[in-house]
Amino acid sequence: MVDYGIVLGLLGVASGVASLIYSRSQVVAARRQAEEATRATLLESNREISVRLQQIRSRFFKVPGIDDELQKSRPEIKEVVDSVGGGDVYAFWRDVIDTFEDIFVLRRSGIVRDEHWRVWTGSQMGIYATLPRFQLVFKLAKQQGFLDPGFVRFFEPLLEGKSLQDPMTHAEHTNPASAPRLRRFRLN
């Protein structure tokens, strides 16, 4: 004869285990959702900061007396600014470089998809990398430490006419929420 108490007890244990498994999966899903929300917030914040930086940079060379200040405090920057055609041209090239760096970081983090990556590396980065003024501004930004070292290692082969390696296939697992891209300003 079957003891219904044991059967009901075993059913209760099985039901409890199923509830634990289900609740665990809900916790994992909630964690993923929170991570994606954090990632989206960080991307939006980065976009807003980039827009502000571009606005500041576009006004920088219009500040009265800035040429003299640069000549006295950062002559290496002033030399490149003059050699590329002035502050507006320099700001344009820096915006291009910063955009390429952002694309690199997003690809390394697994956010930029293959079709967009091919467009950026095929029709954008390759063309700009051959232009002498772009190269001057890139080299200055590298020397001054304005660029992510990983981006510099990634992009330099293109300046030499070589092909690029996809950072997503060669990068360790990266979490864009944990690695700040801001660097301290270096004084000479």
pLDDT at 121: 85
- Is there a domain that residue 188 lies in? no
DSSP assignment letter at 33: H
pLDDT at 22: 84
Question: Of 44-48, 86-90, 111-115, 161-165, which has the strongest mean pLDDT?
Answer: 86-90
**Stretch 127-145: mean pLDDT:** 96
- Is there a domain that residue 70 lies in? yes
Per-residue tokens: 65:
């007396």
pLDDT at 2: 67
Least confident of 5-19, 39-53, 118-132: 39-53
Buried b (16+ CB within 10 A) or exposed e, 68-101: eebeeeeeebbebbeebeebeebbbbbebbbbbb
- Is there a domain that residue 136 lies in? yes
CB 159 within 8 A of CB 135: yes
- Is there a domain that residue 119 lies in? yes
Per-residue tokens: 139:
């080299």
Spell out the residues 6+ positions from residue 141 whose beta carbon is closer than 8 angstroms to its own.
Answer: 94, 97, 147
What does pTM read for this prediction? Answer: 0.70
**Domains contained in the chain, number:** 1
Per cent of the chain over pLDDT 70 is: 88
- Is there a domain that residue 8 lies in? no
- Is there a domain that residue 98 lies in? yes
- Is there a domain that residue 146 lies in? yes
Per cent of the chain over pLDDT 90 is: 37
By residue range, what is the domain housing residue 101?
A: 61-170
- Is there a domain that residue 187 lies in? no
